[in-house]
Amino acid sequence: MGQLFAVEVIYRGVFQKTLAKNITRDIVLAAHNEGKLGISFGRYGDAPERNGIPAKSFAIVAKDEQTLEAGMAQYEPKQVDLTVVLDDTLCKGTESWAWYGLQPVHHALKPGHTLIVVSRDDAPGLLKNIHRREEPYKLGILKGITSFSGMWVFKDDHTDVRVLGAIAKALPELFSLESVEQFITEKLKNPLKVTSARNAYERFGTTDVKPGQGNPEELFKFTKPDWEDMRGGVSIKGQPQGGPYADPTTGKVGGFRPARNELFKKYSTRTQRPVINFSTCTKCTLCWLNCPDASFDVTPDGTYDANLAACCGCGICEEVCPVKDCVHMVNESEFHGNDSQWAAFKKDKDAYLKWLETTIEKAEPIEKRSHGFRYRGQYQEQVPEALEIAKKG
Amino acid sequence: MATLTIPVEQKKKGSEQEALITGAEAIAIACKLANVDVVTAYPIRPYDTVMQYISQLVADGEMDCEYIVAEGEHSQFEIVKHASACGARTFCGSSGVGWMYAMEALTVTPALRIPLVAMVGNRALDDPGAFGVEHNDALAVRDLGWMLTWVDSAQEALDTALIAYRVAEDRRIFVPLAISCDGAFLTHSQALVQIPSKEQVKKFLPAYNRGDLLLHPDNVISVAPQVNEDWVMEIRRQNFGVTEIACDVIREVYADFEKTFGRKYGNPFFEEYMTEDAEVVLLGMGTLSTPVKVAIRKMREQGKKVGFVRLRWFRPFAGKEIGKCLERFKAIGVLDRDFSFGSPDLSGVVATEVRSAMYSNSATRPPVIGFIGGLGGREVTVPDVEAATEIIFQAAKGKAQPLTQWIGLRG
């Protein structure tokens, strides 16, 4: 048995599906330039046709057919030599469709291997979100704006080749920079992309992450029951209705909080989150009515609190809110908790409103952190900007 | 007195009443006796006779149920599936391509553990358009978790319908069950039938209790979610568990039926006719039993030792009992009123199953000759049966015979 290389690319459903597919395909083709054989595939159970859902694509490569076949015999690689994260908000963990709980981004990464994250943040910033683990690994940041596009389109901002350049540095046994350049020249036929790959290669570096370093959050664990213990008739226990709840400050009971799925939280689905100014809310109900995930709790005050366990960050509440300064969608990566905003507001109104002001300002304009394209011409605006950042490194 | 139950003799036999009725009518009366809550209907011959009889029972005030005429068979079977999930005792049915049109609904029903009872008025699958009997319609669901039974008389149709509700609604079973009635020969011909009283039926058939699977606001459950590869095998294994105990439950219910009504069916899975000293046997399902029995009596007069095994339950297929029963004969002829194109030995469905059951359950290896006949409602004649039996006797003597032969075919 020869050596088997496995690379996983973690991406956002819909918005990065084509990008992830291209990267894993390109990995195989670049390695093929060195005589290696490989396949690339998406994780079939991921349902990446759902907006923002964390999903995975894989490339497995070997020097000989039998080793490759041993890799292909698995549904997906159980351990990978390299993990690429295409959106840094995924550092909070991935909870794909039916993965039963949150998985850390380095879930499958072999000890001592490299986690590549596309981000504008630095290592300490990312490690606030990346869960700690017992084995050491290397964290490498590929500086850049998260590349989002649509289901069937590919936003050619060079993220694909920049990732290839970084991989050549992080895992030279897989392929060399020369093989990447040869692949780009022959297949993509774009000299500028060769430059981007080379720049990424030269500027890419890693930080050693020690055991126990990172986000201390306890991950939700789930054990799958045996067939005899499962309910019959393909039925599952439903949710109770939910009901009123207490104001943590005054103790006043009221409002309505629906009971929600205990096994599937949407923390990792968001790239943006709503922040709400409860002092300007007119209680018009529109956010609550229009939210596709019923993520709003009706507070005992009659205002609406976006429950972050249920919010997937679609931004519809912001769209429908008729008040100028009530609901704002902001960059999810600026946040490290999921506590109730309304509870914070009730505790200290002035402090909350001040926090809100700085938060909205700090969390970059949402156009850059949107689900795909929010307006016509956004692609044309963003590509030069992304290329500029890529050049600077 | 209902206009459709034409009393021939009003003589009381215990609390039972005698009437001259068709197989379809017998099933309609069983639905009345079983106090079915929801019936869905969509016309297709020959099943439509049963929906007509039920609608008349409802119109006459003899039966109280929701009677819904759907816009097609798919909806017809979906409606009862949902009604049954909500705790209603349900009845439904179809024929031929109508049954096939409902296929998606038929497919999803067993996994949801829905004890729906359906009547299939067996009919040839189009094309060509034909009303006559063929068993391929009901057999199309044979691998999907449905229980399938074939009856050959109006009396057996009525009794089996009552048995069907007891079996299907047993908490250990909870899967749909289809009673196959041969088009024309059974659905459209009248015979004398003993109709039990409602009180007797009530004693035999307890109320349908869906327990923790009841879809109701007081029992909040979600049914049939989307799952991935981590769940499907466990769900299939649960349905497989039903098939492991199905034969035992059927035995229990037949024993209780005999105790309550006094009518004996003996072995629930198949009826044996003149097999005690037989050298060879014929095996088949449904109403072809009539010409076969006549032919056997005729051949017996000529000293030919031939018997008949009429299969009642196709799913579950009582492989052990059938294998044991057939191992003592020198040759077996299986009469299939169906086809399974491209199957091993190019035989019909039943012949293929019989060979498979015998391979693992019989101590001997007698030749099993498949006969395909009676398709599209064609009469299986007494001379046809005699000719087939001659071939089996030849096989019993060790003279090799083609493993599949068509009977009653021109040319």
Q: Which residue of B212, B223, B230 is in closest CB contact with A234? A: B223
Minimal C-alpha gap between B206 and chain A (Å): 21
Prediction pTM value = 0.89
Q: Do B221 and A230 touch (CB under 8 A)?
A: no
> What are the pLDDT digits (tens) for B154-200?
999 999 999 999 999 999 999 999 999 999 999 999 999 999 999 99
pLDDT score of B295: 98
Q: Which residue of A45, A230, A237 is in closest CB contact with B234? A: A230
Q: Do A235 and B223 touch (CB under 8 A)?
A: yes
pLDDT score of A264: 78
Q: Which residue of A227, A233, A238 is in closest CB contact with B234? A: A227
Contacts of B70 (CB under 8 A, 6+ apart): B40, B41, B42, B76, B79
H/E element, B344: none
Query: What residue ranges of chain A are covered by domains with CATH 3.30.70.20?
Result: 242-262+272-362
Residue type at A134 in one-letter notation: E
> B188 touching A, CB under 8 A?
no
Judged on CB neighbours under 10 Å (0-12, 13-18, 19+), A284 is middle
Average pLDDT score over residue span B283-306: 98
- State in Å, rounded, how far the first CA of chain B is from the last one: 52
CA separation for the pair B378, B284 (Å, rounded): 15
Contacts of A63 (CB under 8 A, 6+ apart): A2, A3, A35, A36, A37
| Residue of chain B minimizing CA distance to A239 | B220
pLDDT score of A163: 98
> A227 touching B, CB under 8 A?
yes
Residue type at B271 in one-letter notation: E
Residue type at B392 in one-letter notation: I
Q: Which residue of A45, A100, A225 is in closest CB contact with B229? A: A45
Would you tell me how many other CB atoms lie within 10 Å of the CB of residue A215? 17
Average pLDDT score over residue span B9-34: 85
Strand pairing class (B16-22; B12-13):
antiparallel
Would you tell me how many other CB atoms lie within 10 Å of the CB of residue B39? 29
Is the pLDDT at B91 greater than 90, yes or no? yes
User: Residue B167 — left, alpha, or beta (φ > 0 → left; ψ -120 to 50 → alpha)?
Assistant: alpha
| Residue of chain A minimizing CA distance to B242 | A232
Q: Do A231 and B224 touch (CB under 8 A)?
A: no
| Residue of chain A minimizing CA distance to B110 | A233
> B81 touching A, CB under 8 A?
no
Q: Do A224 and B230 touch (CB under 8 A)?
A: yes
| A237 against B325, higher pLDDT | B325
Q: A-B interface: how many C-beta pairs under 8 angstroms?
A: 59
Token reading at B27: 């099933």
Q: Do B225 and A234 touch (CB under 8 A)?
A: yes
Q: Give the residue carrying structure tokens 């002001």.
A: A357
> What are the pLDDT digits (tens) for B249-260?
999 999 999 999
CA separation for the pair A224, A99 (Å, rounded): 11
Tell me whether domains B7-261 and B270-406 share a fold: yes
CA separation for the pair A334, A339 (Å, rounded): 14
The distance from CA A175 to its chain's CA centroid, rounded to whole angstroms, is 26
The distance from CA B203 to its chain's CA centroid, rounded to whole angstroms, is 24
Is residue B336 a contact partner of residue B292, using CB atoms and an 8 Å limit?
no
Q: Give the residue carrying structure tokens 């905003």.
A: A341
Please report residues of B whose CB lies closer than 8 A to that of A75.
229
pLDDT score of A267: 84
Whether omega for the bond prior to residue B128 falls within 30 degrees of 0, making it cis, is yes
> B127 touching A, CB under 8 A?
no
Residue of A44, A229, A234, A237 to mutate when probing chain B, most B C-beta within 10 A: A234
Token reading at A344: 């914070």
A92 φ, ψ to 5°? Answer: -70, -10
pLDDT score of A364: 64
Is residue A299 a contact partner of residue A342, using CB atoms and an 8 Å limit?
yes
B182 φ, ψ to 5°? Answer: -60, 130
Question: Domain A242-262+272-362 classified CATH 3.30.70.20?
Answer: yes
> A279 touching B, CB under 8 A?
no
> Which of A267-276, B187-196, B236-245, B396-405 shows the lowest mean pLDDT across its residues?
A267-276
Please report residues of B whose CB lies closer than 8 A to that of A238.
220-222
pLDDT score of B8: 44
Regarding the domain delimited by A4-209, which CATH topology (the fold level of the hierarchy) does it fall under?
Answer: Pyruvate-ferredoxin Oxidoreductase; domain 3 (3.40.920)
pLDDT score of A333: 82
Question: How high is the ipTM of this complex?
Answer: 0.86
Average pLDDT score over residue span B13-34: 92
| 3-state SS assignment for residue B82 | helix
Cα torsion at B139, B140, B144, B146 (round to 10°)? -40
The DSSP secondary structure of A292-349, one letter per residue, reads TT--EEEPTTS-EEE-TTT-----HHHHH--STTSEEEEEGGG------HHHHHHH-H
Please report residues of A whose CB lies closer than 8 A to that of B209.
none
> A97 touching B, CB under 8 A?
yes
Low-confidence ranges of chain A (pLDDT < 50): none
For domain B7-261, give its CATH number from 3.40.630.40, 3.40.50.10600, 3.40.50.970, 3.40.1280.10.
3.40.50.970
A104 φ, ψ to 5°? Answer: -65, 155
Residue type at A35 in one-letter notation: G
Question: Domain B270-406 classified CATH 3.40.50.300?
Answer: no
Token reading at B240: 């497989």
pLDDT score of A367: 56
- Residue boundaries of the structural domains of chain B: 7-261, 270-406
Minimal C-alpha gap between B84 and chain A (Å): 12
The whole-chain average pLDDT of chain B stands at 95
> A234 touching B, CB under 8 A?
yes
| Residue of chain A minimizing CA distance to B237 | A227
pLDDT score of A48: 85
Share of chain B above pLDDT 70, in %: 97
Please report residues of A whose CB lies closer than 8 A to that of B233.
227
> A75 touching B, CB under 8 A?
yes
pLDDT score of B391: 98
Token reading at B276: 């005690």
CA separation for the pair B393, A344 (Å, rounded): 91
